[in-house]
Amino acid sequence: MTVTAFIDGQYGTTGLQIQSRLEAHPDVELLSIPEAQKKDPQLRETYLNRADVVFLCLPDEASRAAVALISNPATVIIDASSAFRVDPAWVYGVPELAGLRPKIQTSNRIANPGCYPTGMTLLTAPLVAAGLLPRAYPLTVQAITGYSGGGKAMIADYQGFDRGQAETAAARLKNLDLNHKHLPEMQHIVGLDFAPVFVPTVGNFEQGMLVSIGLHEAALSGSAEQVYVALAEAYQAEPFITLFPLNDQSQLEDGFLAPTHCNGTNRIELFVFSADQRIYLVARLDNLGKGASGAAVQNMNCRFGLLETTGLLV
């Protein structure tokens, strides 16, 4: 089958990444408003209602406004903003999480996940479901990401830095008001009693991400080995998820775990390290791939009955 697709917000970071994937997709016809007519609101509304699938790559309020313009009940919307991620009328777009793939396959309203929550939810949801991680556990989530996650303005800032500015911006904490916009989905999707403490770090590299969570066995209902088995059982058949062996050191380079090794792919790599009843979970992914645009294309594939890996690098 051929799926017609329209990207609203195609010139932003996420939109451009989705466009590049769809242009190479064998089952997609990409609809695009001619450059001379891109500001025509009536033509935009026509395209929003003509396509089989619409990707919204817009700020939250603009996404809500775009959804209001779509009157065609057959149009599938995949929204990349955070506007609908905890809305019960929308399906959260992580097919690998238990129970979500069948819902994605039949829904016309799919909320693409945030990049940080993609790693966080995949690391923790199976543990909560297995009864290993209490819902009341006081989670702290750490993450470091490339600057592309901040969009065009942040990309321009980092790429324009002189040497002194680049050194100053080598790694900087962000969102120290402790109110990151991804907190609601982290709490809601995993089913936690409390939102985690989450302050991300932006590094002076363009693309790539590590999301990590520390746990204490004394506060869990199981061991590091049981944690590992729960993740292994949850994702054993998932083509985009690689779970490395417990305490595996093969991906370390002189003792360091780099954030960039999944760049350009839709792969997410999971790690479990443990020592002295302490556990450290890590997810490595491309913040623009499985963390954004790749996930959107995977959700499209899932919704239209296509092989989920079509058009995506594993």
Higher pLDDT, 206 or 1: 206
Kindly state whether residues 172 and 259 are assigned to the same domain.
Answer: yes
The pLDDT of residue 168? 84
**308 within domain boundaries:** no
Kindly state whether residues 168 and 218 are assigned to the same domain.
Answer: yes
**312 within domain boundaries:** no
The pLDDT of residue 151? 82
CATH number at residue 173: 3.30.360.10
Kindly state whether residues 73 and 198 are assigned to the same domain.
Answer: no
Kindly state whether residues 147 and 122 are assigned to the same domain.
Answer: yes
Q: What is the mean pLDDT of residues 169-189?
A: 95
**227 within domain boundaries:** yes
Residues of the chain above pLDDT 90, percent? 89
**81 within domain boundaries:** yes
Structural domain that includes position 245:
115-287
The pLDDT of residue 134? 98
Kindly state whether residues 122 and 196 are assigned to the same domain.
Answer: yes
74 token code pair: 């057959």
Q: CB neighbours (10 Å) of residue 46? A: 15
Kindly state whether residues 13 and 26 are assigned to the same domain.
Answer: yes
The answer to whether the beta carbons of residues 308 and 29 sit under 8 Å apart is: no
pLDDT tens for 103-159 read: 999 999 999 999 999 999 999 999 999 999 999 999 999 999 999 988 888 888 889
Higher pLDDT, 160 or 254: 254
Kindly state whether residues 63 and 95 are assigned to the same domain.
Answer: yes
**Element (DSSP H or E) covering residue 42:** helix 41-50
pLDDT tens for 14-69 read: 999 999 999 999 999 999 988 788 789 999 999 999 999 999 999 999 999 999 99
Confidence bin at 211 (pLDDT 50/70/90):
very high
Give me the catalytic one of 57, 115, 262, 302. Answer: 115
The pLDDT of residue 237? 94
The pLDDT of residue 89? 98
299 token code pair: 């959700």
Kindly state whether residues 106 and 129 are assigned to the same domain.
Answer: no
pLDDT tens for 273-297 read: 999 999 999 999 999 999 999 999 9
The answer to whether the beta carbons of residues 140 and 212 sit under 8 Å apart is: no
The pLDDT of residue 164? 85
Running DSSP on this structure, what letter comes out for residue 253?
Answer: B
Catalytic (active site) residue 57: no
Residues of the chain above pLDDT 70, percent? 100
Kindly state whether residues 44 and 85 are assigned to the same domain.
Answer: yes
Calpha distance 132→33 (Å, rounded): 50
Kindly state whether residues 75 and 185 are assigned to the same domain.
Answer: no
**132 within domain boundaries:** yes
Q: How many domains does the chain have?
A: 2
**173 within domain boundaries:** yes
Higher pLDDT, 161 or 111: 111
